[in-house]
Structure 1
């Protein structure tokens, strides 16, 4: 009883972000006090709820030190570029970060708090069931977050657990309220207006996607997150390393054949991050592998998108966004591109060539 009296007194003085954290830590996991004093060397959840595990580090009661500003951090996967993460931390006012994932444990929150630093606290929810996306304590924690980061894993779980839920609404509202949101790998894959959901349990290759852009593995998802700056975009990760240009071309061609006229593809290389401020101006952090962002814009209607048939598509503009480039969203205007190429899809193959001045003019 003494514990609950102390918790009640703390809640009466604490900011709203403490509500979920304190309740989770004290009420949802039997034996949490004992675990805190004699826990295992491997970090254990502070609490467990119906369909999730919860971790935390830092000072949940600390006031957010600086103003919070809007921003999107799109990480291609692999090793994060710390400069980009520091950019997001600054946008979050050096305050309170919440990490969402459906596998793993507290790795990302520990990287935010301990390895990179500069945040008041970091919390993690690891989801295992859709019902957790309606849990009041989870939603209260997300509502109070200064910044939210979606980790890697399997984006099909994010679609199944979050799409159409109260948590989905909270994520949209978080961005509308001018707070930063980031994602890496699978977390990046769901940030666009359309996503490759990997709903068949696989990860479609460029070869398969080009061979049949209407095939069963092309599980594209819409009406999930609604981020205004990415309203015309489908994102992809691990881009050059996993040879995903062909599949992103096929994603865009498929969507355009279904009437989504202005959609473009945005692929991010592994270890790179594209950071977008509230005015829609993007800066690329190339990371340890000197990566790029890749903007994919077909300039002509698909010549053929038919069941069981390879994609036929001419004059796809492929623009590289490097450290010295600037991408403006949502208009998809690129200043100082790192490279410009023209892609053609035919007979299940993608041919990429340098964009000559004449070719660039023809695709504008």
Structure 2
């Protein structure tokens, strides 16, 4: 973490729920698209710097529903930006404010902080904030990222946490538990993450079983070619403008690129333990360990071109998770 260099100031246009560091005047820069999926815990400096570079030194906006402006000086110290502004959006009414929508639309980079992803779903979905996020992704094409809960909402399919978190054991023992609350195709729209779910804090606790259950539900319920990107703590997946992913981070954290191997689960029904075996090859997985300056390559265009990691499989027998 970089030591703070400039104090944040209240943005008078927004009041107490927005703080800005740097120049409050809007600038326009040349940006390059990209996405950061961060797994939580310690932020990955190199991934934020990657976003800053792609922002062209413009205005970097952080949105969240709770918390502080702690990201402002941290991000401001990692590279050259015109400003960093944190906006706390903790109600539907705030999420529908035109000035907040415009502030987000004027950003050259957007980062969604951690917290509770259901706050983001209940406050931001079907609002001007949602429109602004998708404008940045699909029209303005600026770098967009998130960590923890902020990463969890970036997939076409998302675990909403509407009824609280769900453990691997709970999901495997009843894939239709109320806690396995999934949304799809109605919130953040990143085209390369179509039919894809993201998961974070993948190693704390072990979430391999629940992620496999999410994929099973995606196949069973929607006949999706189910895919998932799961990220351990202190790890970030950076996806460039060509849809190639590289893994950054610390402490040998890992990212997993998971995909249904062509056949759905044998048993996926309410109040019954999940079985998804398919000859011990139900879910095909590419695993890449992080490095500070980036490691590996995974092609999200075809989900087969890969380097710097290893292929493996996940499967489930009667509620018990296995991997090779």
Deviation of 1:61 after TM superposition, in Å, equals 2.4
Match of 1:57 among 11, 15, 21: 21
Which one of the candidate residues 285, 298, 312 is aligned to 1:318?
A: 285
**Quick one: structure 1 residues 54 and 348, their matched pair in 2 at CA, closer, same or farther if it must change by over 3 Å?**
same
The CA distance in 1 between the partners of 2:24 and 2:179, in whole Å, is 43
| Alignment match of 1:181 (pick from 128, 144, 149) | 144
CA positional deviation for 1:275? 0.7
Rg comparison, structure with higher value: 1
The Cα shift of 1:182 comes to: 0.7
Question: TM-score scaled by structure 1?
Answer: 0.80
- Of 160, 165, 178, 2:122 maps to 160
SS at match of 2:17: strand
Q: 2:197 aligns with which of 231, 234, 237?
A: 234
Which of 209, 230, 238 pairs up with 1:267?
230
How many Å separate the matches in 2 of 1:49 and 1:131? 13
The count of aligned residue pairs is 307
Alignment of 1:44-123 (within 5 A): 45-47=10-12, 53-61=17-25, 63-64=27-28, 67-114=30-77, 116-123=78-85
Q: 1:336 aligns with which of 280, 283, 307?
A: 307
**Contact (CA 8 Å) 1:76, 1:184: kept in 2 or not?**
yes
CA spacing shift, 1:160–1:62, aligned 2, 3 Å: closer
Are the counterparts in 2 of residues 171 and 225 from structure 1 also a CA contact under 8 Å? yes
Q: Report the equivalent of 2:3.
A: none
Q: 1:214–1:306: 8 Å Cα contact kept in structure 2?
A: yes
Secondary structure in structure 2 of the residue aligned to 1:214: coil
Output the CA distance in 2 between the equivalents of 1:317 and 1:216.
27
Tell me if structure 1 keeps the 8 A contact 2:8–2:72. Answer: no
CA drift at 1:337:
4.7
| Residue among 255, 268, 286 paired with 2:218 | 255
1:138 is paired with a residue whose SS is helix
**Contact kept? 2:32, 2:142, Cα under 8 Å:** yes
Secondary structure (helix, strand or coil) at the match of 1:333 reads coil
Partner Cα separation in structure 1 for residue 276 and residue 137 of structure 2? 35
| Counterpart Cα distance in 2 of 1:90 and 1:207 | 41
Equivalences for residues 179-218 of structure 1 within 5 A: 179-200=142-163, 202-218=164-180
Query: Residue by residue, what CA displacement relative to the aligned partner does 1:240-299 show, whole Å, maximum 9, x if unpaired?
Result: 2320111000001011101242121110111111111111111111x2222121012221
Relative distance call for 1:296 and 1:59 in structure 2 (3 A) is: same
